[in-house]
Amino acid sequence: MGNVVQRQTRGALRFQLFRKMAGLELLSDQGYRLDGRKATELRKFQARMGVFAQADGSAYLEQGNTKALAVVYGPHEVRGARSRIRHDRAVINCQYSMATFSTAERKRRPHGDRKSTEMSLHLKQTFEAAVMTQLYPRSQIDIYVKILQSDGGNYSVCVNAATLAVIDAGIPMRDYVCACTVGFVDETPLADLCYAEEGGGVSSLALALLPRGGQIALLQMDARLHQDHLEALIEAAMTACKGVSKVLDQVVRQHLQEASVPSAE
Amino acid sequence: MAADMRLPTIQKPVSLTFSAFDRKDLVVPGDVITSDTGFMRGHGTYVDEEKLTASVAGEVQRVDKLICVKPLKTRFNGEVGDVVVGRITEVQQKRWKVETNSRLDSVLLLSSVNLPGGELRRRSAEDELTMREYLQEGDLISAEVQSVFSDGALSLHTRSLKYGKLGQGVLVQLSPSLIKRQKTHFHNLPCGASMILGNNGFVWLYPTPEQLEEEAGGFYTSLEPVSVSDREVISRLRNCLLALAAHKVLLFDTSVLYCYESSVHHQVKDILKPEVMEEIVMLTQQKLLDQEG
């Protein structure tokens, strides 16, 4: 039953995409987007930490219709090539994969293609900026992220899910890493893009932020945008990331309250 | 065949002590604990612009001027004297590598094991070549932490007859934070089985040996068949441990024994059902509270 509904909404989104190509706007005159959000509004978050018992840390995150599962193992002894050992810090190993059923068209390879490898590298760079790796010399931290359903902003949802998983594993971080994808339409920045918006020829930008200090962990943009608009777009992305951080903060605190051992003392 | 079905429900840990809601001492990464510079920085914290900031999500602990944050769940942080249960992962020159749920694999030196033939036996080059005969990859051992290296790796020793290779039994892997530190971690339970509660969260359940084997130096493992009744006791203990761990009850000999006693009128396999688990853990906590007085 749920599957049927999902297929319908996905079909509906595609239909909207066609309509857009035929002239429908991503942002209506009243200031609403395709899915009824305002320009700066984020999608609905649903998250759970500690979903697996066997892993050191794990988390499940839904951001709108994009769903991701993140698992963290470590810090543990470096497996495989001895040459990867760093004597002053831990190595972070990331793997990004997409379930074969996550997109409208069935994927052939869940991971290992060029796009996934690039995404893994970006995740690695993001978490090397946030995790205090110098505390664990000669060890390795594995972060595995899987997209179960893809509806835009895959990178951002992965970063947010992985942040929750790393916190669940008890690995020290400077701050949360929050990520958000923003786009620029009709002189207006749109926060947290969905698939229909991402695919609609919008210049989009993904930003991972350490919100308290305002440091940028990763900034990625592979579309064309006029230089004058860049500042406004980054500003909007930062605001959105700070919004994400508030939501993640709530999730972690809720989890802490529930999971803390009621001490007898 | 009878099938057993239940609807999904949200499981809440049962607790007879006061619930820990709205606790003030819980912090998340990036939370400023104090901007007073008079405090010392402990584990789980860092200094950012002269403010003491948390780097993990957990509970703040203050000892005099030292502030630490203890995460809810973490890998094993060994200390000298801890009893651990571990698995051999690698045989190297003069040492074994042991997986102990620690940040790095622990080291068991050839010079810190008791070889057959008594205390004063010399360790020759031949011993180095026959290391795999004593312990090989995949073997389970019990050991004690001898020292901690500067990078956090542990050095183990088995220089006592109570430590050494483990024979027939069941390993249960739990969170290290659930094990209560005690004088002894080796227990001969009155229900007919023995238990090693490793500080690293690995618990070893085995049938109580008839007599203490001598001269074996801890490498002797009995291959005698274990009786059905013993196996049943061990399985029941295993399920009890999982039940206690699911509800985050500290593990020590008394709590495990009380849990075992509360579970006797259920079948062994039924203990894993959430509602039975809840009932047993509730009874155990009641008994523990009564015993405290």
Q: What is the pLDDT of residue A155?
A: 95
How far apart (Å, rounded) are the C-alpha atoms in residues A120 and A115?
9
Token couple for B24:
């003030």
Contacts of A253 in chain B (CB under 8 A): 26, 28
CATH classification at residue A144: 3.30.230.70
**What ipTM is given for this predicted complex?**
0.86
Lowest mean pLDDT, pick from A190-194, B26-30, B55-59, B118-122: B118-122
What torsion do the CA atoms of B230, B235, B236, B241 make, to the nearest 10 degrees? 130
Contacts of B57 in chain A (CB under 8 A): 167-168, 170, 252, 255-256
How far apart (Å, rounded) are the C-alpha atoms in residues B218 and A190?
68
Helix (H, G, I), strand (E, B) or coil at B211: coil
Token couple for B181:
């530190």
Contacts of B15 in chain A (CB under 8 A): 262
- Quickly count: other Cβ atoms within 10 Å of residue B263's Cβ: 24
Q: How many helices (H) and strands (E) does chain A have?
A: 5, 9
Residue A167 contacts B where some CB pair is shorter than 8 Å: yes
Q: What is the pLDDT of residue B141?
A: 94
DSSP B258: H
Helix (H, G, I), strand (E, B) or coil at B110: strand
CB A172 to CB B56 under 8 A?
Answer: yes
Q: Hey, which residues does B102 pair with through a beta bridge?
A: B76
Residue A1 maps to a domain:
no
CB B73 to CB A167 under 8 A?
Answer: no
Instruction: Say if CB B68 and CB B61 are below 8 A apart.
Output: yes
Is A21 exposed, middle or buried, given 0-12, 13-18 or 19+ CB atoms closer than 10 A? exposed
Residue A53 maps to a domain:
yes
Mean pLDDT in residue range B286-291: 92
Residue B259's closest CA among B267, B182, A260, B251? Answer: B251
Residue A121 maps to a domain:
yes
Residue A146 maps to a domain:
yes
Contacts of A173 in chain B (CB under 8 A): 29-30, 55-56
- Would you call the peptide bond into A172 cis, given omega within 30 degrees of 0 as the criterion? no
Q: Report pLDDT digits (tens) over B127-157.
A: 888 888 889 999 999 999 999 999 889 999 9
Contacts of B289 in chain A (CB under 8 A): none
Is A40 exposed, middle or buried, given 0-12, 13-18 or 19+ CB atoms closer than 10 A? middle
Q: What is the pLDDT of residue A261?
A: 59
Residue A5 maps to a domain:
no
A192 dihedral zone (left: phi>0; alpha: psi -120 to 50; beta): left
Lowest mean pLDDT, pick from A26-35, A118-127, A189-198, B166-175: A26-35
Is A231 exposed, middle or buried, given 0-12, 13-18 or 19+ CB atoms closer than 10 A? exposed
Phi, psi of B128 (to 5 degrees): -60, -35
How far apart (Å, rounded) are the C-alpha atoms in residues A160 and A59?
10
Token couple for A123:
């995740």
Please tell me which residue of chain A has the smallest CA distance to B285: A264
Per-residue pLDDT band at A264 (split at 50, 70, 90) = very low
How far apart (Å, rounded) are the C-alpha atoms in residues A86 and A77?
11
Residue A246 maps to a domain:
yes
Domains contained in chain A, number: 1
Interface of B with A (CB under 8 A): 15, 17-23, 26, 28-30, 44, 46, 48, 55-59, 71-75, 89, 97, 99, 103-105, 151-153, 177-178, 248, 250
Residue A35's closest CA among A48, A46, A44? Answer: A44
Q: Is the per-residue pLDDT at A20 higher than 80?
A: no
Between A201 and B130, the more confident residue is B130
Nearest-CA distance B246 → chain A (Å): 10
Nearest-CA distance A123 → chain B (Å): 19
Q: What is the pLDDT of residue A15?
A: 53
Instruction: Say if CB A160 and CB A66 are below 8 A apart.
Output: no
Contacts of B23 in chain A (CB under 8 A): 257, 260
Helices B228-246 + B274-292 axis angle, to 10: 80
Residue A154 maps to a domain:
yes
Q: Hey, which residues does A180 pair with through a beta bridge?
A: A207
Residue A216 maps to a domain:
yes
Nearest-CA distance B122 → chain A (Å): 32
Domain range enclosing A201: 37-259
Q: Report pLDDT digits (tens) over B74-120.
A: 899 999 999 999 999 999 988 999 999 999 999 999 988 887 666 66
Q: What is the pLDDT of residue A201?
A: 75
Residue A56 contacts B where some CB pair is shorter than 8 Å: yes
Helix ranges, chain A (H): 2-21, 114-130, 154-168, 195-198, 227-259
Q: What is the pLDDT of residue A263?
A: 47
- Quickly count: other Cβ atoms within 10 Å of residue B221's Cβ: 14
Site from A247, A256, A257, A258 to mutate, B interface, most B CB atoms within 10 angstroms? A256
CB A172 to CB B177 under 8 A?
Answer: no
Q: What is the pLDDT of residue B120?
A: 64
DSSP A219: E
Q: Report pLDDT digits (tens) over A40-76.
A: 999 999 999 999 988 999 999 999 999 999 999 989 9
Nearest-CA distance A235 → chain B (Å): 22
Instruction: Say if CB A206 and CB A179 are below 8 A apart.
Output: yes
Q: Which domains does chain B have, with CATH numbers?
A: 26-71 (2.40.50.100)
Phi, psi of A250 (to 5 degrees): -60, -45
Contacts of B17 in chain A (CB under 8 A): 262, 264
Residue A142 contacts B where some CB pair is shorter than 8 Å: no
Selected residues 73-112 of chain A with any CB under 8 Å from a CB in chain B: 74-77
CA-to-CA separations, A85 to A78, A90, A261, B153, in angstroms, rounded: 7, 8, 35, 14
CB B58 to CB A171 under 8 A?
Answer: no
Q: What is the pLDDT of residue B119?
A: 61
- Quickly count: other Cβ atoms within 10 Å of residue B10's Cβ: 4
Token couple for A236:
């909007």
Picking from B22, B29, B104, the nearest residue to A175 by CB comes out as B29
